[in-house]
Amino acid sequence: MPATQHYRDGQRPTLTQFLIEQRRRYPGASGDFNALMLDVALACKTIARAVARGELAYAPGAGSGVGTSTDQVNVQGEVQKKLDILSNDIFIRMTEWAGHLAGQASEEMDEHRAIPDGLPRGKYLLVFDPLDGSSNIDVNVSVGSIFSVLRAPQEAIDSGRPLTDADFLQPGSSQVAAGYALYGPTTMLVISVGNGVHGFTLDHDVGEFMLTHPALQVPPDTQEFAINASNSRFWEPPIKRFVDECMAGQTGPRGKDFNMRWIASMVAEAHRILMRGGVFMYPRDLKDPAKPGRLRLLYEANPIGFLMEQAGGRASTGRQAMLGVVPTSLHQRIGLIFGSKNEVERIERYHREPQEQPDTEPLFAVRGLFRD
């Protein structure tokens, strides 16, 4: 009986039950994948506990809190918080021991991590952002963890050769599963194993993730958008055009009013869109023309893009489908636009159309809040 049927009958399946039912679609499956997903869930529960304790987890005193910066800088050039390091260690410790993984890569590690000698080696790769939005920890805004599961190359498994970075550089369309944990008023785990998107809520009384949001769907249309408006002077013309049209409201070319949101925690932004629709934009801009974007392709854009596509939404760079991008480096950055399909496709269309030419008569120029 499908998990959604249990839900309709008033019985909320656990994550374990859900995964077992999904596995029945593949009679020859070994169970390794399910076990890996449960290890990831355990890591998320452990991080949720650390996040929930906040300052109580540390001794009193200035500079000792959960949101305190360390003297360490990750490969992205960002100063790490204590909880960044702790969350990364939890992910490694909870997932590398059981023999399901061939290797791991994380936003917080300079290089990929091979399974240590003496531990069994599996057939999957795990890439993750252990604590997305950690800059918001000290102000108690929702944060989360993002993860993606890939298959290790069969040749590497058969030969036993050491992994290389190239083994992780797979397009998002190759993902076996992806998901995120949201550490908010409730702790939620939202996953896709290639058969839709499903949300689970942590029941602290029994210590289990319970299916509470089966078969999530992103509405194709929306009246909400999310973007960091402080970067407006660096936006490319297609993004400026889209935002100006939204801001013009009912009297503008869109003929309807829009609300603008910005949480600065991508997990929280993605969750809001999965719950009620919307479009999120962190596009390539002109602030640093040498950089193709700000977000990490492997650890953020691909897993969130996979979830959006599985839920009927769309994820894009603005110029091409996100899941079709072939990575070129482990910590590659990229522009990301995702959410309600019709809005994302509109933004893609604006990128394809010829750029707007400047007005010759300033008196009759089109004006908008974010126009130069």
Q: What is the SS3 assignment for 274?
A: helix
Of the candidates 233, 229, 230, 234, the one whose C-alpha atom is nearest the C-alpha of residue 246 is 229
Those residues with Cβ within 8 angstroms of residue 295's Cβ, 6 or more apart along the chain or in another chain? 266, 282, 301, 333, 334, 335, 336
Give the pLDDT mean for 120-146: 91
Q: Where are the alpha helices (DSSP H) in 129-233?
A: 154-159
What pLDDT score was predicted for residue 79?
63
Enter the DSSP assignment of 323: G
Predicted confidence (pLDDT) per residue in 275-329, tens digit: 999 999 999 999 888 888 999 999 999 999 999 999 999 999 999 999 999 999 9
Q: What are the helix and strand counts (H, E) for the chain?
A: 9, 17
Predicted confidence (pLDDT) per residue in 10-53, tens digit: 689 999 999 999 988 877 778 899 999 999 999 999 999 999 98
CB burial readout 163-201, b (16+ within 10 A) else e: beeebbbbbbeebbbbbbbbbbeebbbbbbbeebbbbbb
Q: Which long-range contacts (CB under 8 A, 24 or more apart) does 316-321 make?
A: 316/344, 316/347, 316/348, 317/283, 317/284, 317/293, 318/236, 318/238, 318/239, 318/283, 318/284, 318/347, 318/348, 318/351, 319/348, 319/351
Phi, psi of 73 (to 5 degrees): -120, 130
Those residues with Cβ within 8 angstroms of residue 314's Cβ, 6 or more apart along the chain or in another chain? 308, 321, 338, 339, 340, 341, 344, 345
Q: Which residues pair with 225 in a beta bridge?
A: 260, 279
Q: Are the C-beta atoms of residues 138 and 271 closer than 8 Å to each other? A: no
pLDDT over 90 percentage in the chain: 76
Enter the DSSP assignment of 152: P
What are the E-state strand segments in the chain?
A: 69-73, 79-81, 101-106, 113-114, 124-132, 143-151, 177-183, 187-192, 198-203, 208-213, 224-226, 259-261, 279-282, 295-296, 314-316, 333-334, 336-339
Q: Are the C-beta atoms of residues 116 and 92 closer than 8 Å to each other? A: no
Q: For tokens 């360390």, what's the residue?
A: 70
Other C-beta atoms lying within 10 Å of the C-beta of residue 318? 22
Predicted confidence (pLDDT) per residue in 221-265, tens digit: 999 999 999 999 999 999 999 999 999 999 999 999 999 999 989
Region of 362 (left: φ > 0; alpha: ψ -120 to 50; beta: rest) is alpha
Q: Which two tokens stand for residue 240?
A: 């400026």
C-alpha distances in angstroms, 125 versus 117, 128, 155, 353?
17, 10, 14, 39
Q: Which two tokens stand for residue 36?
A: 């890996």
pLDDT at 362 over 80: no
Q: Which two tokens stand for residue 273?
A: 């869109």
Question: All domains of the chain, ordered by start, with CATH?
Answer: 3-213 (3.30.540.10), 224-364 (3.40.190.80)
Predicted confidence (pLDDT) per residue in 68-89, tens digit: 555 566 666 666 788 999 999 9
pLDDT at 365 over 80: no
Q: What is the SS3 assignment for 278?
A: coil
pLDDT over 70 percentage in the chain: 87
Q: What percent of the chain is helix, strand and coil (3-state, nearest 5)?
A: 35, 25, 40
User: CB burial class (10 A; 0-12, 13-18, 19+) of residue 346?
Assistant: middle
Of the candidates 145, 93, 148, 149, the one whose C-alpha atom is nearest the C-alpha of residue 122 is 149
User: CB burial class (10 A; 0-12, 13-18, 19+) of residue 143?
Assistant: buried
